Structure 1
Amino acid sequence: MNNSNLSRRGFLRGATGVTVGIAVGGGALASGCTSISVAADGAGGDLLQRLRDSGTVRMGFANERPFGFINREGNLTGQAPEIGKAIFRRLGIDSFEPKLADFSSLIPGLKAGLFDVIAAGMYITPARCAEIEFTDPDYNAPAALLLPPGNPLGLSDLDSVGQGGARIGVLTGSVEEGYAHDIGMPAGRVVVFPDQSSGFDGVLAGRADCLMLTRLSLLSALNERPGVALELGESFIPVVQGEKQYGAGGFGFRKGETSIVREFNRQLAAMKGSGEVLEIVRPFGFSQDEMTDLTAAQLCSGTAA
């Protein structure tokens, strides 16, 4: 199994040393961890009923545009939170509490009961599926490289970075970090940044020759920095050990909570069919090209073509 499966949109390598950020607008993340039992029951879990009873869902996110972030008005928004809000309202839950965490801490935080759902556009991989329950994906996005002006090293995709001796910037705990290691890049050429903003600054300062994320993520961040001396390369699908690595993301729940996943998927399928998903995410830079009919079952089993 590739190490990339263990890591963006990433699963922390190992379950120790969990560091989770402070909840936005709600005190420390740990403040609500006893309100929801971590363990699901033996018949698909009862999270949906408990959320309906409380009226509030705690949404874990990593403050990465356009997937999930706090806007200038101080509200949680982005592709995943907005789709999540629409679906949870259909399921009878109308209040949303943002819980900020490092991306690498999202799965450990969910498993520890610090929030109820991961709403961060997390890629669905077989190793992550062994840790948590995933909904079907609501998008499938290619990757791209953030580059210095003129692309002096001629970088175009993951292979060109690996073969050309360049230093690749990645986010901590990300699949991109795993991809770099899986293609054999030495640790000294893999520059790890804690978040999207510091990755941009790292390329600007010359600490890395590029930053690899989804094209959507990089384009959204570039739009927030008009005039910045950086450029975006062409989109590509990373290939690791001969296999395409799809960037299809969904929502994550604790293991055993299959009932809420099933109901969530029903609503998601209806919204895809009506075009509502695209309508919700279009303001965040998504298009029909990112819409997908892939399923969590395909992605979890590694059978997506």
Structure 2
Amino acid sequence: MSDADVSRRRFLRGSAGGALAVALGGGLVTSGCTSVNIAARGDGGQLLDRLRDRGVVRMGFANERPFGYINHGGELTGQAPSVGKAVFRKLGIDEFEPKLADFGSLIPGLKAGLFDVIAAGMYITPPRCAEIEFSNPDYNAPEALLLPAGNPLGLTDLRSVRDHQSARIGVLTGSVEERYALALGIPRDRVVVFPDQASGIDGVLANRSDSLMLTRLSLNAALEERPGAALEISETFFVVIDGVQQNGAGGFGFRKGETDIVDAFNRELAAMKAQGEVLEIVQPFGFSKNEMTELTAQELCAAPEVV
């Protein structure tokens, strides 16, 4: 979850097969992962027209702060849903239905037609670009480590975990952080996978892992829910693999072939960025001008792939 591809931002472990958990209405239900090709007609798709007719956007999210979550009032909020809602309102759609999924199930759920858009701050990576369409990113965030108070192992970034003889790195299931760790040569038995943000924090507190890697934004938001916890956050860093910086740039996901709505979404998003509206929307969730970006989905989709 980060985030938190990650990631938030996290790497898709596979979009077909297995069980898919998605919240429909008030409960979490399980559905097969059979893909449905709703949009890929080669004509730009008709999703925007359908959404305008229906008047409601179904937003897939993974309940990860600050990217997308249900607040204490039961409302879908966070960086991605808030930006997404503002863009969709400009496109003529004013109502939004939350659809909760495990992060690793977001792409299969989108492809199965269980929601219309992924609004979870999902990192734009080449493997994901092969699966779905992405809007341009609305942020680019560095990583950080969650550590026990006092940082007993002296960990500072992912390379410091690798270079330590026994340090364990915690990552979320389906995350780019997991792939980064393995690509840098951290042994699999020192990569501890957690299903979500909360269990990752609990894992560090219970010494099941020596660290948890997510974005600084995710970790700061998570610790706000754990006042007094004996934990600290490292300085931020971008992971570098084979000399290439791995950007944590997140956007909105749509089904393959729905290029018309992506183009319309990008036009409104660009205008909002230029007017400072995006920054104004995301600041309450811990984002700053430092996380704003002019990267494009095209650039990120063409980036060298981490193997």
Bin of the TM-score, shorter chain as denominator length: over 0.9
Match of 2:23 in 1: 22
Shift of 1:140: 0.3
Q: 3-state DSSP class of the match of 1:22?
A: strand
Stretch of structure 1 that moved more, 140-149 or 37-46:
37-46
Q: 3-state DSSP class of the match of 1:21?
A: strand
Shift of 1:286: 0.3
4+ residue segments displaced more than 4 Å: 26-30
User: Could you report, residue by residue, the CA deviation over 1:234-293 in whole angstroms, capped at 9, with x for unpaired residues?
Assistant: 000011232210000000000000000000000000000000000000000000000001
Shift of 1:41: 2.4
Work out whether 1:49 is the aligned partner of 2:28.
no
Give the TM-score normalised by structure 1.
0.93
Amino acid at match of 2:103: F
Match of 2:195 in 1: 194
Match of 2:235 in 1: 234
Q: d(CA) in 1 for partners of 2:24 and 2:69?
A: 12
Shift of 1:126: 1.0
Amino acid at match of 2:277: E
Do 1:104 and 1:172's aligned partners in 2 also have CA atoms closer than 8 Å? yes
Do 1:25 and 1:98's aligned partners in 2 also have CA atoms closer than 8 Å? no
Shift of 1:184: 1.6
Q: d(CA) in 1 for partners of 2:94 and 2:37?
A: 21
Q: d(CA) in 2 for partners of 1:96 and 1:105?
A: 20
Match of 2:111 in 1: 111
Do 2:9 and 2:121's aligned partners in 1 also have CA atoms closer than 8 Å? no
Shift of 1:8: 4.1
Match of 1:251 in 2: 252
Amino acid at match of 1:202: G
Q: 3-state DSSP class of the match of 1:20?
A: strand
User: Could you report, residue by residue, the CA deviation over 1:35-68 in whole angstroms, capped at 9, with x for unpaired residues?
Assistant: x972332210000000000001100000000000
Do 2:39 and 2:47's aligned partners in 1 also have CA atoms closer than 8 Å? no
Q: 3-state DSSP class of the match of 2:48?
A: helix
Q: d(CA) in 2 for partners of 1:85 and 1:17?
A: 31
User: Could you report, residue by residue, the CA deviation over 1:185-211 in whole angstroms, capped at 9, with x for unpaired residues?
Assistant: 222111000000000000000000000
Amino acid at match of 2:266: N
Q: d(CA) in 1 for partners of 2:176 and 2:16?
A: 16
Match of 1:139 in 2: 139
Q: d(CA) in 2 for partners of 1:46 and 1:39?
A: 7
Do 1:12 and 1:107's aligned partners in 2 also have CA atoms closer than 8 Å? no
Q: d(CA) in 2 for partners of 1:188 and 1:27?
A: 31
Q: d(CA) in 1 for partners of 2:273 and 2:147?
A: 34
- 5+ residue gaps, structure 2, are none
Amino acid at match of 2:222: A
Do 1:145 and 1:233's aligned partners in 2 also have CA atoms closer than 8 Å? yes
Amino acid at match of 2:199: S
Match of 2:61 in 1: 61
Amino acid at match of 2:67: F
Count of aligned positions: 297
Do 1:134 and 1:296's aligned partners in 2 also have CA atoms closer than 8 Å? yes
Amino acid at match of 1:218: L
Do 2:141 and 2:215's aligned partners in 1 also have CA atoms closer than 8 Å? yes
Do 1:24 and 1:100's aligned partners in 2 also have CA atoms closer than 8 Å? no
- 5+ residue gaps, structure 1, are none
Match of 1:260 in 2: 261
Q: 1:74 to 1:240 in 2, by over 3 A?
A: same
Shift of 1:223: 1.2
Do 1:23 and 1:29's aligned partners in 2 also have CA atoms closer than 8 Å? no
Give the TM-score normalised by structure 2.
0.92
Shift of 1:183: 1.2
Do 2:124 and 2:251's aligned partners in 1 also have CA atoms closer than 8 Å? yes
